[in-house]
Each structure stands twice: as structure tokens, then as C-alpha cells.
Structure 1
Amino acid sequence: MTDGRRLGIGIIGTGNISSAYLKAMLGRDGLPGFPVLDLKGLADMRPEVAAARATEFGLEAMSIEAMLADPEIALIVNLTIPRAHVEVGLRALEAGKHVYSEKPLGVAFAEGQRLVEAAKARGLRVGSAPDTFLGGAHQQARAVVDSGAIGRPVGGTAFMMIPGHESWHPDPAFYYDIGGGPMLDMGPYYITDLVNLLGPVERVVAISSTARTERTITSEPKRGQTVPVKIATHITGSLGFVNGAVVQIAMSFDVAGHKHVPLEIYGTEASLIVPDPNNFGGGLEIKKPGRNEPWVEVPVEKPYADGNYRSLGVADMAQGILDDRPHRANGDLALHVLEVMEAFETASREGRAVDITTRPERPGAL
């Protein structure tokens, strides 16, 4: 990503997550930055918020209309709230721009499908977070699985269980609204990484619950305010993969604490501990069969494991556009993950297994 060519990009949505993207793009907090990204400006439906973020990072704030009309901007990075992802993405496509969305791709499979199909009809690209599966630790895990060291994948576990976001997020209401919840919020990290490791999902079974009808905010500046809960906040189930592996999963905003590791993959020859898929780095361990066989650390030799590289997927997409080759955090992958996540709601509500219709290609190793 250092051949001197650059792609013009603009960011729509300058809320909480935009700071992490900008630090990675521009090279702040010890990160090297991504020179392929020529950041032209920031926009938000709240102009004062865009202006403040632009001042913070030494960038230009502009209106959404001006950004979509700018011929130097080829790719829109959509960091709006989940319910606006598809609406903003469609506007970008209509303006002739490629679009990369913060996760999830949309809040419903049908609307995500509409976005992906609209891009293909226009000869444009869709990308989507999460891109953490491109991080060094997860690419190292991918290399272990691909090497055959664990044998044939048999199953695994995936756990993301926390008390909720109202204790730290400055404006947590959308996490408990339609389009929020632990599955749509955190599920993309786990399911995307599992597809990276095991390939596409074939079937989903699930049960879910809602522990409270409202949540009290304990973070500033809205401490003491309450927000209604409109979604399931504790979701459990199993993923059946095309390759035959079965992974148990639990996503919750109702758990005070637990001792499960985020991801484990089980094979016929060994078990593999994979670090938190919300991060780019972390430790890997592998264990062969046998009561006295120890867990052995797997050295991480892949890049992008030593920092918060949010926007790595954007950079890979930009380079893919310039080189006319596929990008990894692509729309087909994100649409598949969205279908899987929606299937948890359907399976829980209807008490049946839900077959998954999409079959994306496993993204290429980085």
C-alpha cells in the first residue's frame, strides 16, 4: 500500500467511532497510517459535530451534499448509526461513489441485499466493517487452521457477554433500539471472524430473552436518564457451517461477568484459542489431544497485530479499487453475516432451524 497512488475518500458520520477510524487512517497514537487513503473531508447531519471533529484532526468539514457531489471523492466511508447505514449507502451509490459501511451492513437482511444489488447494478463496490479479522492475530489463526494443524474443524464456541454499554457510552440509547442489541452490535466481529476461519454458515438455531424493559444510563453526559429496551438482550444458539463444524454462540448485554474466552476452534487434531475478534491482536494458544498436553502459545508473525487499525478494511478496499482486484471486507461477506444475525431472531421467534441462503467466498488471507 505504498506505491504512491491514492484514492479520494470522504467520511459521513462523525460520532464516537469516527475517532478510531481517523487515528488509524492518518497515523495517530503511534499507528503508521494508510497513505493510500486521501481523506478529503468529513460530513455529518449535525454540521457542528463534523466541524468539531474536523478541527480535532486538521481536516475539512463539508455538507453531505457537497461531499457526494465532489468528483475527487471516489469512496464514502459511512460511519452513521446502524439504522442509517443503507439509506446513506444508497445515496452514495446514486452519486457514483463506492461505499464502505461501519458494521452492521444494515439492520435487516432485505435492506442489506438491496444495497449490495444496487452497487452491483452500477458497477460499484460495497465494503463493510468489521475488518478486525484482517488483524495479525486473526490472520495467524487463519494460517494455523489452513495449515491443517488442528485437523478437520469440528466445532467451537463464541462468547461476548457484558453488562451493557450504558456505563461508558455517552449516548447508548441506540444499542437498545431496533437495529441495536448484542447480536447486531458485536455479532459482526465474531461471525465474520468465524467465516474467515471456517467458511460460510449453513444453518442457525437460537433462543433469546430480554432481561429488562428499560436501562438506566450511568455514563456522562446523560447519567440518570432511562432508555426503553426494544430488542433481545441475551441471545444464544448454534451455527452450523457448510464444512460441517458446529459453533455454540452467546451474545449478551445482561451478564455481569464470565470466564469463557471469546473464541475457541476445535479440530480433530487440536484445539485453538483465538483472541477477541473486536481487536486486531492478542494471544493464540493450541492444544493437542492428551490429558498432559499443555496449551502452547502460537507466535503472531502476521502484521497489524499491535494496534487499533480500524480502517484497515477501507485501505484494502481502496487498494483493491486501484488495482482492480477483490477487497476482503466486502459486501457479499457482510450481507452473509447480516443474514446469519437476522436468522437468530427468526429462529428464536419461530422455534425452528433457519437455513442460510447466501454463500460468500471465504475472504482471501491477507
Structure 2
Amino acid sequence: MGEPVKPLRVGVIGAGKISGQYSRTLRRLPHLPVTSVADLDPARAQQLAAQHPGARTETAAHLLAADDVDLVLNLTVPAVHGGIALAALAAGKHVYGEKPLALTVAEGRAVLDAAGAAGLRVGCAPDTVLGTGIQTARALVDDGRIGVPVAATAFMTTPGHERWHPDPEFLYRPGGGPLLDMGPYYLTSLVHLLGPVASVTGVSSRPTASRVIGSGPRAGTAFDVEVDTHVAGLLVHASGAVSTLVMSFDVWAARLPRIEVYGSGGSLAVPDPNRFDGEVAIFTAEDQEWQPVPPSAGYPEGGRGIGMDDLARSLGTGQEHRASGALALHVLDVMETLLTAAREGRSLPVGTPGAAPAALDGLLTDW
């Protein structure tokens, strides 16, 4: 893309399972050096710091006060996402965090207000939408290849993450569940493809009161389920398009698409939004058959953390970064409103206006 890239020294708070994926990406980005790592488990912090020459381990408080940390990478559990972000902003640091942005829309607004007052940036996962899968699909929609989008479907079904995650309890507490955990990948993609969501209708259920850890040293341990684990919704986009959404930790097997977009002149099959690549396929009224589409836009071979690269590039140009706090707040609002609509049995408007971020223009080969 040719934009200037602003170097940002990164302090990582949270060295759990997802940190390894971020670490691999950051090792490819010399303008985003990791200088400090903090975790409640010192051994985990040391293991992550050892992957980055010169990085040290310290407490979160010392990391936030460090002069050589410009951006805090917040990989903590959802319950403290908002609190860590606010502390980092108060310390004068930019923030990039795992999803969701915060536990509530009110807390998310507080994070963005604090960033605005301080002149700092807030970025938030998922940045999978910047990979070649979603960006290639978006280019086709933006170019009118399927006509005017009228509807979409988005399905994420699994029997539950406790089968493979050694410490899955947080996924079944407030801030977790299939919607808060996996919904951001799908909803962020739908906003990229169809624009912001204006209103929602939802239903949800919690078929089981407890789950059992299936792997790791705590295998066989039972724990309580505190959130609904099957959520379905109808989303009306500001454009008028209607999306059908199902997020479930209660389905053993299904033959459903990840995301499909239906237009007045054809249909689009979109790959798994939890990945950065995958095949895009298009069916048009003219061709009357599905055809694969080669990657045409996005970060080739992207990985978790490319949203920080985009943020650094955007600081150099003064433009809004794509994996932004504003987008994450809109997605959080959609999810919170959907769960409220499910509890109350009615349709509700989404309060945040939202906006589709700028598309990536072509394949980004200089990263």
C-alpha cells in the first residue's frame, strides 16, 4: 500500500493460549517490537518473552508505566478487557486487544471516550477480516459482482470449546458464550460485506447447566455454564439487507455454510471468518455455476496481529485504522442488543451507528 509505518513498541498483557499466534505475527513485524510481557503466571510470561530478543517480564503495573511501551496488546480474559484498556489509555498508551472490546457497551464507550480525550488509538480483534478471504469477498460485493446484496447467512456451530481448551471456564461466563466468543468474527465480516446493523431480533437457550473439560491436566473437571450457549438472530442492516445468524456451542455436526451473501444478481460463498484465507466462490445469474475466485485483496498469509500493523500504518497517514475500537463497539452493541432482544422476545434497534471500514485495495505484499 506504500503508507509510512510508525514504529510502536509493544507491551503484552496476557500470555495465554492465543498469545502464541500473536507472537508469530509480531516476529514478522520489526516495527512492532515486543519490549515487555506481563502475566499472572510468571512462567507463561517468561516463555512468551523468550520469543522476542530483549523483551523482559514484569508486572502489569510496571508495564503500563514503562517508557519503552507505546502500545499495549491486551490478551487478558474478556472480564478485564475494558479495565486493562482504560488503565493503558490512562498511562498514555495505544491499545490493541482481543475481542470483545469490553463486557458491556457502556464500558466500551468509556474506553473509546478515554482514547478520544487522550488522542490515542484503540484497536480490537478480529483482524481476520483483513486477510485475503474476507477482503476478496468484499471486493466482489463492492464491485457489484452479485448485484445489490439482499441477504446473508452466518453459521458457527460446534459442540463446545471445552473439548480442546485446557481452561475453558471463561468461555462459559459473562463475556463468553458462542455469541461473544465467536460472533465477532462473523458480525465484523457481515459489517464489512453489508454495512452496519440497524436492528436485531433474537432467541437463545442454555440446554445444559454444566460442562466437562475434555483435555489437558484438568480433563474430567466439571464447571458451571453461566451464559446461553445457543443464539439465533435476524439482523437488519442499515442498507436494508437481512442477515440470519446462528452461533452455537450445542451442535455436534452440521452441513451449513460459514457465510453466504445473496444478491440480486448472484450469490457469494465466504470462507471461515476465523481464518485469514480460504476459498471464495461466486455464482452469478449469467454463469449459473459456482466458480472459485483467486485472492485479490488483503494480507496474504495473514495472522493474528496484522490489525496492529494496519494501526501503525494508519498512524503514519492520519487515517482510521480498520480493526478499530469503533467497529468493535458496534459489533459489541449488536451482540448485547441481540441477547437483550432474545430475553425480551422482541426486535430492538442497535444504538451505535457503525460503519464499514475502508477496504484494503489489492493484495498487501509489503508486510
TM-score by length of 1: 0.94
Identity level (%): 46
| Distance in 1 separating the partners of 2:203 and 2:8 | 44
What do the CA deviations read for 1:73-101 (whole angstroms, capped 9, x no partner)? Answer: 11111000000100100100110111111
Q: Give, in angstroms, the shift of residue 303 of structure 1.
A: 4.3
Q: Would you say 1:40 and 2:41 are equivalent positions?
A: no
Name 1:164's counterpart in structure 2.
160
| CA separation of 1:181 and 1:293: change in aligned 2, threshold 3 A | same
What do the CA deviations read for 1:181-229 (whole angstroms, capped 9, x no partner)? Answer: 0000000000001101111000000000011000011111111100100
Q: Would you say 1:179 and 2:175 are equivalent positions?
A: yes
Name 1:20's counterpart in structure 2.
21
| Distance in 1 separating the partners of 2:314 and 2:70 | 13
Name 1:293's counterpart in structure 2.
288
Q: Please say if residues 135 and 304 of structure 1, whose CA atoms lie closer than 8 Å, have aligned partners that are also in contact.
A: yes
Q: Give, in angstroms, the shift of residue 71 of structure 1.
A: 1.8
Q: Would you say 1:339 and 2:333 are equivalent positions?
A: yes
Amino acid at match of 1:253: F
Q: Please say if residues 137 and 305 of structure 1, whose CA atoms lie closer than 8 Å, have aligned partners that are also in contact.
A: no
Name 2:322's counterpart in structure 1.
328
Q: Would you say 1:312 and 2:313 are equivalent positions?
A: no
| Distance in 2 separating the partners of 1:76 and 1:295 | 44
Q: Give, in angstroms, the shift of residue 168 of structure 1.
A: 0.4
| Distance in 2 separating the partners of 1:244 and 1:3 | 37
| Distance in 2 separating the partners of 1:303 and 1:332 | 21
Q: Would you say 1:65 and 2:66 are equivalent positions?
A: no
| CA separation of 1:361 and 1:303: change in aligned 2, threshold 3 A | closer
Q: Give, in angstroms, the shift of residue 314 of structure 1.
A: 0.9
| CA separation of 1:54 and 1:216: change in aligned 2, threshold 3 A | same
Q: Please say if residues 151 and 267 of structure 1, whose CA atoms lie closer than 8 Å, have aligned partners that are also in contact.
A: yes
| Distance in 1 separating the partners of 2:46 and 2:282 | 48
Q: Would you say 1:351 and 2:345 are equivalent positions?
A: yes
Name 2:136's counterpart in structure 1.
140
| Distance in 1 separating the partners of 2:118 and 2:196 | 26
- The equivalences for 1:158-307 within 5 A come to 158-289=154-285, 293-307=288-302
Q: Please say if residues 47 and 63 of structure 1, whose CA atoms lie closer than 8 Å, have aligned partners that are also in contact.
A: no
Q: Please say if residues 36 and 63 of structure 2, whose CA atoms lie closer than 8 Å, have aligned partners that are also in contact.
A: yes
Q: Give, in angstroms, the shift of residue 343 of structure 1.
A: 1.1
Partner SS, residue 99 of structure 1: strand
- In the alignment, structure 1 segments of 5+ residues that lack a partner are 27-32
| Distance in 2 separating the partners of 1:342 and 1:264 | 24
Partner SS, residue 66 of structure 1: helix
Q: Please say if residues 2 and 36 of structure 1, whose CA atoms lie closer than 8 Å, have aligned partners that are also in contact.
A: no
**Which of 54, 71, 74 is equivalent to 2:49?**
54
Name 2:70's counterpart in structure 1.
74
Name 1:29's counterpart in structure 2.
none
Name 2:364's counterpart in structure 1.
none
Amino acid at match of 1:52: Q
Q: Give, in angstroms, the shift of residue 45 of structure 1.
A: 2.8
TM-score by length of 2: 0.94
| Distance in 1 separating the partners of 2:295 and 2:13 | 34
| Distance in 2 separating the partners of 1:256 and 1:305 | 32
What do the CA deviations read for 1:113-164 (whole angstroms, capped 9, x no partner)? Answer: 1111111121111110000110011111110000011111100100000000
Partner SS, residue 73 of structure 2: strand
What do the CA deviations read for 1:10-54 (whole angstroms, capped 9, x no partner)? Answer: 11111000000000110xxxxxx1222122121113333212222
| Distance in 2 separating the partners of 1:266 and 1:237 | 17
| CA separation of 1:201 and 1:4: change in aligned 2, threshold 3 A | closer
Q: Which runs of 4+ in 1 moved over 3 A?
A: 1-5, 56-59
What do the CA deviations read for 1:274-297 (whole angstroms, capped 9, x no partner)? Answer: 00000000001111238x821111
| Distance in 2 separating the partners of 1:71 and 1:277 | 36
Amino acid at match of 2:76: T
Q: Give, in angstroms, the shift of residue 5 of structure 1.
A: 4.8
Q: How many residues align?
A: 358
Partner SS, residue 163 of structure 2: coil
- In the alignment, structure 2 segments of 5+ residues that lack a partner are 361-367
| Distance in 1 separating the partners of 2:336 and 2:149 | 25
Amino acid at match of 2:47: A
